[in-house]
Structure 1
Amino acid sequence: MLLMSRTDNAVQRFIFENTDIRGEVVSLNNSYLDALEAHEYPEVVRRFLGELVASAVLLSSTLKFEGLLTLQARGDGPLSLLMVECTDQKSFRAVAQFRDDIVEAPLQTLLGKASLLITVDPVKGKRYQGIVPLEKETLAASLEDYFAQSVQLQTRLWLACDGQSSSGLLLQALPASAELSADARSESWNRMTALAETVQSSELLDLDHETLLVRLFHEETVRIFEKEPVRFICTCSQERSAKIISTLDRKEVESIIEEDGQVAMDCQFCNHQYVFGKEDIDSIFNEKPQIH
């Protein structure tokens, strides 16, 4: 049988008709590679950061808001940080921090004692942050813990990344609507998650979304919505860098100017450097711009 080629840089929503279960599937290749282009990450870091990128896109798709979702895994091990920012427009940027002696190992081993932080920063409304210990062996399992503890929504995730592309599948139980019986809801949830549990990493990475969903749920009635493109976009700029400088101690900044003749700021996400001379620094502190 001829297989459909994988979906490129898109997230797609689907629902199971006559149930209260929704899903999201995401496939990233060029956009994922664009996010990593400015960094020389080891293969193990590329894979785990790819899983986090897929997770952030999936999670942002479950939220109805205009703003930014930030997903961070922070620990005291050789891999100290994995971080992804994703907007409601499905643009993202990502970064990792690690020691030079990092070697191939499970995520839990690399992170050490770690926490998973999820921050939702809407354009309108209050900022929200949830945090759970990152104690499970996989990122997917830790995120499922977060939803169970902090959001109290039944959620399952399956993630895959081979260092060149990244994919993920999410199932989530919705409030009772189509199925009012608790037994019926439980039976549907158990059936759908059991079917999804059969997915292979190669299927997530290689198959077109429609082909994947038919293969997993061929006996179910699945309604698939339009694809939403996902892009890597770094939001750094000269202006944002200037606003950050304005929060620093002026005397310390001026001492750097006296010593080096300039102040240079590097974006941790894309490695672009912004340079400020003495006149720029005088202007920044005289205007005192505020960070938005």
Structure 2
Amino acid sequence: MSDFDQLNRFLIDRAHVRGQLVRLQDSLTDIVHSQEYPVQIQRLLSEMAAAASMLTATLKFEGEISLQIQGNGPVNYAVIHATHNQTMRGVARWDQSSPSLPDVLEALLRQAVLVITITPDKGERYQGVVALDKPTLAESMESYFAQSEQLPTKIMLMTDLRDPEHIKAAGMLLQVLPEDASQSVLASGNDFEHLVKLGETLSEEEMFCLPVSEILYRLYHQEEVELFAPQPVKFACTCSKVRTAQALRNVEKAELLNIIAEDGAVNMNCQYCHAEYSFDEIDIEAIHAGNFDSPETPQ
């Protein structure tokens, strides 16, 4: 459908509630198929991508949000980076020796935490940590908002993995407006809870098959809902040969030159998009002299 890979913001003014509704498809392809991920990891990364897209919509500045999971279960690491202009990338690591992975989130991410890092282009970095001790990722993220921003927030996440080549993810977020939070909790709390109850009636079939405007009308036709122009969402990697070279500065020059002597070059591969960068002896000398500069970016 034409309104996939778009973030849709809306406002229910009477109840002092804002919302985001996102549906992803093509923007997920390079994330969930960047490796031979089991279906459980594809589902996890898809949910994280939808959540990250909606979180960026709450930012009032230019920058990046990252959702990073760290745990001791079969999946020990997963991350999605998303920017204010709705580009994203992600990767996961898991125990590839396991013959199969559990479907239950608690077993998949044993003793895990979710680290949410907000990095503005200008200003200080902020990081929040919340335990992944709820049955779903959405519920744990609601706990993050309750702890860090103290804003009543409802998050719904869905995935459609029936077509392995065209995996879909979707999410809806409802949140009391920050400037009206105290007023809404005290005077309009019932309104927010009513909107949440209506949102919970949304089925996966409706989420993935209906136009966004019709979804909102079916849920909130008794409200005046202002739907703003959608914002495109796409996969984009920020890697470059220059950034890769910066990482090589932390490796001893002699070690890098030995690799070149044996293999002909130092070859680096981006874990997000698999772009390959090759460095010869002249490059290594320039990197460690602090004057390496290449315009090369991944194709």
1:75 shift after superposition: 1.0
Is 1:130 paired with 2:128?
A: yes
Q: CA 1:242 to 1:176, structure 2 compared with 1: closer, same or farther past 3 Å?
A: closer
Match of 1:192 among 195, 203, 214: 195
Match of 1:61 among 57, 62, 78: 57
1:166 shift after superposition: 0.8
Q: Specify every segment of 5 or more residues in structure 2 that has no aligned partner in the other structure, as ranges.
A: 162-166, 294-299
Classify the secondary structure of the residue corresponding to 2:238. Answer: coil
1:53 shift after superposition: 0.2
What is the rounded CA distance, in whole Å, between the counterparts of 1:177 and 1:161 in structure 2?
Answer: 32
Structure 1 residue aligned with 2:109: 111
Report if the CA contact (8 A) 1:83-1:94 is conserved.
Answer: yes
Q: TM-score, normalised by structure 1?
A: 0.92
Report if the CA contact (8 A) 1:161-1:167 is conserved.
Answer: yes
Report if the CA contact (8 A) 1:67-1:123 is conserved.
Answer: yes
1:162 shift after superposition: 1.9
What is the rounded CA distance, in whole Å, between the counterparts of 1:202 and 1:283 in structure 2?
Answer: 56
Cα deviations by residue, 1:23-63 (Å, 9 ceiling, x for unpaired): 00001111111333432212111111100000000001111
1:6 shift after superposition: 6.6
Classify the secondary structure of the residue corresponding to 1:62. Answer: coil
What is the rounded CA distance, in whole Å, between the counterparts of 2:217 and 2:248 in structure 1?
Answer: 52
Structure 2 residue aligned with 1:255: 258
Match of 2:45 among 45, 49, 70: 49
Is 1:202 paired with 2:205?
A: yes
What is the rounded CA distance, in whole Å, between the counterparts of 1:38 and 1:110 in structure 2?
Answer: 20
Report if the CA contact (8 A) 2:30-2:273 is conserved.
Answer: no
1:205 shift after superposition: 2.2
1:185 shift after superposition: 1.6
Matches within 5 A, 1:259-278: 259-278=262-281
What is the rounded CA distance, in whole Å, between the counterparts of 1:32 and 1:77 in structure 2?
Answer: 24
Q: TM-score, normalised by structure 2?
A: 0.90
AA in 2 matched with 1:227: P
Report if the CA contact (8 A) 2:86-2:232 is conserved.
Answer: yes
Classify the secondary structure of the residue corresponding to 1:35. Answer: helix
1:249 shift after superposition: 3.0
Q: CA 1:176 to 1:128, structure 2 compared with 1: closer, same or farther past 3 Å?
A: closer
Is 1:151 paired with 2:149?
A: yes
Classify the secondary structure of the residue corresponding to 2:256. Answer: helix
Q: CA RMSD in A?
A: 2.0
1:262 shift after superposition: 1.9
Report if the CA contact (8 A) 1:20-1:179 is conserved.
Answer: no
1:250 shift after superposition: 2.8
Is 1:90 paired with 2:93?
A: no
Aligned length: 286
What is the rounded CA distance, in whole Å, between the counterparts of 1:146 and 1:288 in structure 2?
Answer: 43
Match of 2:284 among 281, 285, 288: 281
Report if the CA contact (8 A) 2:5-2:232 is conserved.
Answer: yes
What is the rounded CA distance, in whole Å, between the counterparts of 2:73 and 2:292 in structure 1?
Answer: 37
Q: Specify every segment of 5 or more residues in structure 1 that has no aligned partner in the other structure, as ranges.
A: none
